[in-house]
Structure 1
Amino acid sequence: MLEAVIFDMDGVIVDSEPFWKLAEKDTFTALGVEVNEELTQFTQKMTTQEVTRFWFEQFPWKGKTHEEVEQMVITRVVELIEQQNCVFPGIQHFVQSLKNKNILTGLATNSPASIIPVVLQKSGLSTLFDTISSAEFEPKGKPHPDIYLNTAKRLEVAPEKCIVIEDSDSGITAAKRAGMKVIQHTNDLQNPKHPLADFFLDNYHPDQLAELNTFLN
């Protein structure tokens, strides 16, 4: 029986994945890093701390600490979120509909904690989550399952009674490792369908949500 739905943030609530790529390229290029498409395939799965360490190991820079550089990336992403129309249409209505059914809701993201309030205010979701988790405070980010297991623990719900809404390979893998069912948000099929996902949600339009409600019930 479903008791909780746990949401990823980037790519599920806001279409911010391009912002991270842009901020990564702008910040590290300015430090003399040769940011290329081949290596960014690895950083897509990392937390901001891990990304900063990764690029320093590839192209060490001088003059700025890891913490300063990480904050530069975060600041740029926040600017883009605030400036751009990036909230997925219908997400607020969907989360509210879960609350109306007395289903617990959680947020679990690889993004730093400082970005979360910006996204929640932008999306109108500031009061709709029962618990919020950032991988910044976990030993390891996704694809490790810790953030989902700990979010379920804070909700006081068994993992098998949780459904996760994710968009990425690393997030889906983390949720499945945690023993949870996964709905993949494909962003209108911009994300290839993942073989581990239990259900595919292209967007939050009413017709899609009607199909999803059948799955949730």
Structure 2
Amino acid sequence: MIDAVIFDMDGTLIDSEPMWKEAEKEVFSGLGVNVTEQLAQQSASMTTLEASAFWYSHNPWQGPSIQDVANRVVVRVGDLIAKHGVALDGVHNTLSLLDKNQIKIGLATNAPEQLIPIVLGKLGIAKYFSACCSSDNELEGKPHPAIYLSTARALNVCPSQCLAIEDSGTGVLAAKAANMRTLAVPHVDEYDHQKFDLSDFKLKSLSEFGLGHLA
């Protein structure tokens, strides 16, 4: 039986990818970087620091350090989430259902730690989460399992009794490596991609979630 459900954040609880794109384009363009769509696709799966280093290598700027620029991007993303963030379909109902059935709820994200309270606060769902962990505090982010193992430990639940809910292939790999059951909710454009074949369940949105997925 599943005792805890651990959610990814970006793309699972909130559609924040457009906000990341907007923030990066705004910040890097402001430094004179020519932000092309082709290169932006290459940097999409990188951490903010890795993306900043990537753009610097293509178009070096004068003045602020790569770390400072990465921080600017994160702050801008936080501003955009606070203004425009909305929960994805089924998020509120799924969290309420788990809470009513006394299933522990955690968060395991590659996103910067400072964005967690902004997202949960904006969506009005902070009350549901007993543990929130960011790969900021791990040696490696997903697909390494560390973030999931840390969240299970914080929830005081064995990893094998956890269900991880993810929207990305790297997230599914991380949860599987942590010996967790996985439920994928891919973006509509990636729903049929083979990288999600490893997942135990696959839904088009969390509005399809039910207690049967915990059995």
> One-letter code of the match for 1:197?
S
- Please tell me the root mean square deviation across aligned C-alpha atoms, in Å: 1.8
Check if 1:165 corresponds to 2:165: yes
8 Å contact from structure 1 (residues 46, 142) kept in 2: no
Matched, 1:132 2:132: yes
Say if 1:16 and 1:86, in contact at 8 Å, map to a contact too: no
User: Letter of the aligned partner of 1:190 in structure 2?
Assistant: D
Cα deviation, 1:80-103, whole Å, max 9, x if unaligned, reads 212225321331221121122121
1:40-59 matches, cutoff 5 A: 40-59=40-59
Kept in 2: contact 1:45–1:170 (CA 8 A)? no
Which residue does 2:104 correspond to in 1?
Answer: 104
- Cα distance in 2 for residues equivalent to 1:173 and 1:34: 33
Match of 2:12 in 1: 12
Query: Contact between 2:19 and 2:77, CA under 8 Å: does it hold in 1?
Result: yes
Deviations 1:17-69 (A, max 9, x none): 11112212221122233333333334222222222233223333220122321
1:86 corresponds in structure 2 to: 86
Deviation of 1:186 (Å): 2.5
Superposed displacement of residue 132, structure 1:
0.3
SS at match of 1:157: coil
SS at match of 1:190: helix
Tell me the residue number matched to 1:176.
176
* Partner in structure 2 of residue 38 of structure 1: 38
CA displacement at 1:12 relative to structure 2: 0.8
Counterparts in 2 of 1:117 and 1:185: CA distance versus 1, 3 Å: same
Contact 2:85–2:122 (CA under 8 A) maintained in structure 1: no
Q: State how far apart, in whole Å, the 1-side matches of 2:201 and 2:92 are.
A: 20
Distance in 2 (alpha carbons) for counterparts of 1:163 and 1:35: 38
Q: Please, which moves more after superposition, 158-167 or 193-202?
A: 193-202
User: Structure 1 residues 175, 40: closer, same or farther in 2, change over 3 A?
Assistant: farther
5+ residue gaps, structure 2:
none
Pair 1:145–1:59, CA change in 2 (3 A): farther
Gaps of 5+ in 1: none
The two structures have a TM-score, normalised by structure 2, of 0.90
Say which SS state the counterpart of residue 72 (structure 2) adopts: helix
Q: Is the 8 Å Cα contact of residues 47 and 136 (structure 1) preserved in structure 2?
A: no
2:205 corresponds to 1:203: yes
Identity %: 42
Aligned position for 2:214: 216
2:191–2:204 CA contact under 8 A, matched in 1: no
Instruction: Indicate if the aligned counterparts of 1:27 and 1:73 stay in contact, CA closer than 8 A.
Output: yes
Q: Report the CA distance shift for 1:177/1:37 in structure 2 as closer, same or farther (over 3 A).
A: farther
TM-score (norm 1): 0.89
User: What is the match of residue 191 of structure 1?
Assistant: 190
Aligned residues: 212
Measured in 1, the distance between the counterparts of 2:145 and 2:42 equals 19
- Alignment CA distance shift 1:92-1:20 (3 Å): same
Q: Which amino acid aligns with 2:53?
A: R
